[in-house]
């Protein structure tokens, strides 16, 4: 089961990265980890630093993938992002939290910009 979830996650991340690159985003980090948690993708677009959570599902029988980004998951991502940005030499004018929802049944992806905020 865990192996299947790992493979599903990696496939979802590959689809998400391709989507982001096609939109002109520059990938900075993948699977960034610290003691607060993990951020799937960190990228740059224009003068924004964007933290992206990728959620993938085999099908939509149990709901949309983005519905799995709970309040607690958001808090872990925000805390991890705060640690990440505290170590940056470059400062960005905008920091944003996005979610990419991937349906593995048809390999479709939906990019939700500003999915949640640090406020």
Query: Can you tell me which residue has the tokens 């805390």?
Result: 79
Higher pLDDT, 56 or 59: 56
What local confidence, expressed as pLDDT, does residue 4 receive? 66
What local confidence, expressed as pLDDT, does residue 37 receive? 94
- Structural domains of the chain, with CATH: 2-116 (3.40.1350.10)
The stretch 25-39 carries a mean pLDDT of: 96
* Nearest Cα residue to 88 out of 30, 29, 37, 35: 29
The stretch 56-69 carries a mean pLDDT of: 90
The stretch 71-79 carries a mean pLDDT of: 97
Spatial separation of the C-alpha atoms in residues 88 and 4, rounded to whole Å: 35
* Nearest Cα residue to 38 out of 86, 95, 76, 87: 76
Instruction: Inform me whether the pLDDT recorded for 35 exceeds 90.
Output: yes
Give the pLDDT band (50/70/90) at residue 34: very high
Instruction: Inform me whether the pLDDT recorded for 78 exceeds 70.
Output: yes
């Amino acid at each position: 089961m865990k192996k299947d979830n790992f493979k599903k996650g990696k496939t979802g991340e590959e689809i998400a990265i391709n989507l982001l690159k096609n939109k002109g985003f520059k990938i900075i980090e993948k699977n960034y980890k610290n003691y607060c948690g993990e951020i799937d993708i960190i990228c740059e677009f224009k003068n924004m630093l964007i933290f992206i959570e990728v959620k993938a599902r085999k099908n939509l029988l149990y709901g949309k993938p983005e519905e799995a980004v709970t309040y607690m998951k958001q808090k872990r991502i925000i805390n991890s992002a705060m640690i990440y940005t505290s170590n940056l030499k470059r400062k960005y004018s905008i920091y944003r939290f996005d979610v990419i929802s991937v349906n593995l049944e048809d390999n479709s992806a939906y990019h939700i910009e500003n999915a949640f905020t640090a406020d």
